[in-house]
Structure 1
Amino acid sequence: MNDWTAGYVADIGYTYGYYTELNPLRVKLAFLNQGLQCPEMATACELGFGQGLSANLHAAASAIRWSGTDFNPSQAGYAQELAQASGSGAQLHDEAFAEFAQRPDLPGFDYIGVHGIWSWISDENRAVIVDFVRRKLKVGGILYISYNTLPGWAAFAPMRHLMTEHAEVLGSEGRGIVSRIDGAMDFAEKLLATNPAFARANPLVADRLKHMKGHNRHYLAHEYFNRDWHPMHFATMAGWLEAAKLQYACSANYLDQVDVVNLTPEQQVFIKEIPDPMFRQTVRDFMVNQQFRKDYWVKGARRLSALEQMEALRNVRLILTTARVDVSLKVTGAVGEATMSEAIYNPILDALADHRIHSIGQLEQALKDRNITFGLIVEAVLLLTGAGHLQLAQDDQAASKARKTCERLNQYLMLKARSSNDVSYLASPVTGGGIAVNRFQQLFLLARSQGQKQPAEWAQSAWQLLAVQGQTLIKDGKGLPTPEENLSELTAQAKTFAEAQLPILKSLQIA
């Protein structure tokens, strides 16, 4: 009997995650910071889209035409349902990579995204992806690819192998993958409790296992328990992509582009003396003990002159998506936690505090008397965006075109939130992608869209939905026992939402 799963976990669905790095709009700042020309994007594709949330949010929130595939039919069905609800026209399929790659109706793509799946598939499927990229990515096009990386996974790889062996050999098939995962982790804990030499030689393994136990079991099933699981050195990835004529461009993780939070001064000097840029990446992975890379590759890199780079950077548009009072001036990189300079960051944040769109050039003008150089502004934008406080904003024309599809998708998701907390994101035509909005906040927005104007009314509407389903709120780790306590807590949350989050969501054209 043919195993259509090819060893990939398919008996439970993937999580309903949203991955902002898949947003093509993010390419612009990353490329410009490296002095590279960013192409205009009209077509995009995601291979292995999971539940399809990222693909649908990006398709609804931009003018880009999206295609994609995920071989799990239940996940593809959900993704197609979202595409139909939004009316975005996204073409999302349930085909294996080899089948999808031969479709005659696919356009050439300006952007192809492959998030995570590379680490969990066979060499045969990797070859299919590389050939697809070679044939279907346009000249000047971008590949975003993320994958588990060595050396960061080197110490834990034997423990992962042990747990998958336990799940396969000693786990009961009838109990399902979640029970087998729990059994495997319990076994691993008992093994470490015997203080084996492996644990003494790799003291961080116990911490990684403890961290694993706090994760969603559906995530763990797909992250650790597939038949294929291959962390890869950067140089090995480069070797794979050479056949597709791709060049490494830069990290898609903005924080990775700021050396001061990732490398010590000695490491910065050491790495700058390495003449080969590819080998430099390999060495850098050892310095930061890289576990997961998020990278952009380009088919034909084109460098900008210094003048062109400065002009393009000045035109980059930004919006503050975190309440000003909630922005921390601490950022965590490979060297630990760093504190950003108040003299630099507070004026920048104050200039953005109205939650309107500002270009980097406008920031430069607003701060010209504050002794904050253009270079410092760009570095601050990278750090604040990498930390999730800022997002890039697309042009007004694209945002206007995307508004109706965003409204339709958001209405659908808010209706789903009445009975489920699966999806914690809504689409913004301003950012061209997803914005974190939790279940209760979605219910408040739903009540507001139905004509209820006061926070107390939103809370009452949310409580009626929860009560009829026998659901209660959790506070301080305990369920609230009475209707009065639940309604009081919801009312407090609704008031906070009205004061802090709602103005931002209005600026993002979500509310």
Structure 2
Amino acid sequence: MSNWTAGYVADIAYTYGYYAELNPHRVKMAFLSAGLACPEIGTACELGFGQGVSANLHAAASTIQWYGTDFNPSQASFAQELARASHSEARLFDESFADFAARSDLPEFDFIGLHGIWSWISDENRAVIVEFIRRKLKVGGVLYISYNTQPGWANFAPMRHLMTQHAEVAGVEGNGIVSRINGALDFTEKLLATEPLYARANPHVHERIKKLKEQNRHYLAHEYFNRDWLPMHFSTMAEWLEPAKLSFACSAHYLDQIDSINLSNEQQQFLENIPNPMFRETVRDFMVNQQFRRDYWVRGPRKLGNIKQTELLRQQRIILIQHRPDVSLTATGSLGEANMQEAVYAPILDTLADHQIMTLGQIEQITGQSFVKILQAIYVLIGSGSLVTVQSDDEIAKAKPRCEQLNLHLCTQARASNEVSYLASPVLGGGVPVGRFQQIFLLARQEGKHQPEEWAQYAWQLLVRQEQRLLLEGKTINSEEDNLNQLRKWAHTFADKELKILKALGVA
């Protein structure tokens, strides 16, 4: 492996994922829930942006000026291509963290984000990042950081070590990382079949290996097979960030903030008796067996008074992004699946069913429910992906042309590829999931085809020209009639459910 990779897997492309927690517009609701003032965000930076999907969707869909770096030149090239397509003027580089931090042309940032980076780099690079944050994050600025954490990895960490050792000493280098991953997984299964005492003491390992075998090898390469891999306790993370004068604000994963679905009454009472908030967070990780944290930190937290907090919450704008009958009244937390009270949730969802933008104050007036109940329901629905926060009308208007240009580029790519399954929404200031064939249907509409039957025919002709067939539940559909019937089914579902939502989001 060449030196420029610094031990990070570079011979297989990273996945084309989108991570909503990197959207600065999500920060405000999370901060308000914690009773904190949120800064106005005009400049943002993503360190280790992978393929750059998140950075580009956020740059196109907002008025924020974005910067970022990823050491892999092929990934940076793809990210720069998206930036050119949207005309967002996002400045994305292929530099190491040290080289990027040394640049003299970077502004100070209101928001810095790292997703899927911290746990997979060396201490040297961690120190570079902390120093960069210390110098470049503004007073009042926000850091988003996600990382593998203890104690959730305590049982599986030895198995991960064994798999990487097998890939290193028993894998055939010339066959590439995918072959070495498959070899390590097969070896691990054979080892577990001998019923070692480790497996008896950790019975969940069998099921975890089974799930790993079903996952995308590109994801596994970057998640498990880097040289550096360190799950970190929350308290250790706090020690790392202390030189940058950062304070923990709250979880960026909204459902983590709902104690009722994550902690028993006894656990909640136990935590309430711990006066130190940082130690309390560490203890909470043991209660929920935390494996992956997604957190916001702030450089200089400012508490809001109750009146101001409530006023700002009532002004928050949201929109429903699921078809109303499809919204589940269940939420999954550490305690398992919890049923939501239909008497509380149904009136809120009915009020939002036409996918119009509304404030929490308007919902309060229409439903007549107490604001406390509305607020918890909103956080649960945002956390479960049914609702999203909405930016201002002025920001929407400014972002719309860039989103249209980027989305046209992505939909055009979808004719031959299913790599990027998200499009940019000027309404929410970030990405919304849209699959390959739904993108193709949007492209057909732009070319003057207005009926689902036309969209299906358009998609089928693309498949024919590329000698492709649909894959459904792991099986190839061979006949033309069956392919067309499936495409028609998807097209009608798109017309009946998804199109109206995408129009409300400024995507269609």
**In the aligned structure 1, how far is the partner of 2:67 from the partner of 2:459?**
36
Q: Which amino acid is 1:253 matched to?
A: H
Matched residue type, 1:409:
L
Mapped partners of 1:43, 1:504: distance in 2: 29
**1:193-245, CA deviations, whole angstroms, 9 ceiling, x for partnerless residues?**
11100001111111211121121100000000000000000000000000000
Q: Quote how far apart the aligned CAs of 1:430 are.
A: 0.1
Asked whether 1:325 is paired with 2:322, we answer no
1:225 equivalent in alignment to 2:222: no
* Map of 2:200 onto structure 1: 200
What SS does structure 2 have at the residue aligned with 1:270? helix
Amino acid at match of 2:474: G
* From 498, 503, 506, the counterpart of 2:500: 503
Identify unmatched segments of 5+ residues in structure 2. Answer: none
State yes or no: 1:355 paired with 2:355: yes
Equivalent AA in structure 2 for residue 244 of structure 1: A
Question: What is the aligned partner in structure 2 of residue 379 from structure 1?
Answer: 376
Pairs within 5 Å for 1:240-389: 240-368=240-368, 372-389=369-386
Deviations 1:26-70 (A, max 9, x none): 000000011000000000000000000000000000000000000
Shift, 1:485, TM fit:
1.3
Q: Secondary structure at the match of 1:427?
A: strand
Cα distance, 1:474 vs structure 2: 2.2
2:443 matched residue in structure 1: 446
Q: What one-letter code is carried by the residue in structure 2 that aligns with 1:448?
A: R
Deviations 1:414-455 (A, max 9, x none): 000000000100000000000000000000000001111111
The answer to whether residue 470 in structure 2 is matched with residue 477 in structure 1 is: no
Q: Show the 5 A alignment for 1:156-171.
A: 156-171=156-171
Matched letter for residue 334 of structure 1: S
Alignment-derived partner of residue 177 in structure 1? 177
| CA displacement at 1:476 relative to structure 2 | 4.2
Aligned to 2:122: 122
State how far apart, in whole Å, the 2-side matches of 1:176 and 1:119 are.
23
- Is 1:461 the counterpart of 2:473? The answer is no
Q: Which amino acid aligns with 2:89?
A: G
Task: After superposition, give the CA deviation of every residue in 1:254-277 in whole Å (9 maximum; x if it has no partner).
Answer: 000000000011111111111110
- Rounded to whole Å, the distance in 2 between the matches of 1:477 and 1:116 is 29
Query: CA–CA distance in 2 between the matches of 1:2 and 1:394?
Result: 44
2:430 pairs with 1:433: yes
Partners in 2 of 1:76 and 1:477 — Cα distance?
A: 32
Aligned length: 508
Find the aligned partners of 1:2 and 1:265 in 2 and give their Cα distance.
53
Tell me the residue number matched to 1:210.
210
Which SS does the other structure have where 1:88 is aligned?
A: coil
Aligned to 2:65: 65
Identity %: 66
Q: Compute the displacement of 1:475 (Å).
A: 2.9
SS at match of 2:67: strand
User: Cα deviation per residue 1:105-150 (whole Å; 9 max; x = unaligned)?
Assistant: 1000000001110000000000000000000000000000000000
TM-score, scaled to structure 1: 0.99
Give the counterpart letter for 2:220 in structure 1: L
Q: Distance in 2 between matches of 1:478 and 1:3?
A: 41
TM-superposition CA deviations, 1:304-346 (whole Å, max 9, x none)? 0000000000011100001101100111100011000000000
In the aligned structure 2, how far is the partner of 1:301 from the partner of 1:464? 56
User: Matches of 1:205 and 1:358 in 2, distance apart?
Assistant: 46
**Counterpart secondary structure, 1:287:** helix
Which one-letter code corresponds to 1:144 in the other structure? Y
Q: Report SS of the residue matched to 1:4.
A: helix
Q: What is the identity, as a one-letter code, of the residue corresponding to 1:493? A: W
Matches of 2:452 and 2:134, distance apart in 1: 53
Separation in 1 of the partners of 2:48 and 2:473?
Answer: 37
1:492 aligns with 2:489: yes
CA RMSD after TM alignment: 0.8
> What is the one-letter code of the residue matched to 1:402?
A
Unmatched runs of 5 consecutive residues or more in structure 1 = none
1:85 maps to 85
TM-score, normalised to structure 2, is 0.99
- How far off its partner does 1:367 sit? 1.2
Mapped to 2, the partners of 1:475 and 1:142 lie a distance apart of 43
Query: In structure 1, the residue corresponding to 2:431 is in which secondary structure?
Result: strand
1:25 maps onto 2:5 in alignment: no
What is aligned with 1:47? 47
More displaced 10-residue stretch of structure 1: 222-231 or 465-474: 465-474
Shift of 1:478: 2.1
- Counterparts of 1:206 and 1:27, CA distance in 2: 38
Alpha-carbon distance, 1:2 to partner: 6.4
DSSP 3-state at the match of 1:139: strand
Following superposition, the deviation at residue 85 of structure 1 comes to 0.4
Equivalent residue, structure 2, for 1:155:
155
